[in-house]
């Protein structure tokens, strides 16, 4: 079935997906969520122990990111 263009349809995105940021002294999981009453995003950080994210435990990193992204995708808001 061919795709149709819908120029009148807007896509509303209320978050930016979580990502791991590796710093020199600490690692953080960072994501953004839209403030409900405003049209702006707020940044949220979760510090992560580097010992949890060593090469042998990349699954831990993936699980943490997937968990946050799944919650955001299902409509969860850190403001509620």
What string of DSSP letters covers 16-76? Answer: EEEEEEE-SS-EEEEEEEE-TTSS-EEEEEEEE-GGGGSGGGHHHHHHHHHHHHHHHHTT-
Q: Is the pLDDT of residue 18 over 90?
A: yes
Interatomic CA distance for residues 20 and 29, integer angstroms: 5
Q: Give the pLDDT confidence of 32-80 residue by residue, as tens digits.
A: 999 988 889 999 998 877 665 565 566 777 888 999 999 999 888 888 7
The pLDDT assigned to 12 comes to 59
The pLDDT assigned to 32 comes to 95
The reported pTM is: 0.72
Cross-strand pairs, 73: none
Longest dimension (CA), the chain: 52
């Amino acid at each position: 079935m061919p795709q149709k263009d819908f120029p009148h349809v807007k896509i509303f995105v209320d978050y930016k997906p979580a990502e791991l940021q590796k710093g020199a002294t600490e690692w953080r999981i960072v994501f953004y969520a839209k403030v409900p009453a405003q049209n702006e995003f707020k940044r949220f950080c979760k510090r992560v122990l580097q010992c949890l994210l060593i090469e042998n435990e990349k699954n831990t990193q993936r699980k943490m990111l997937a968990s946050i992204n799944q919650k955001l995708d299902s409509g969860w808001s850190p403001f509620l």
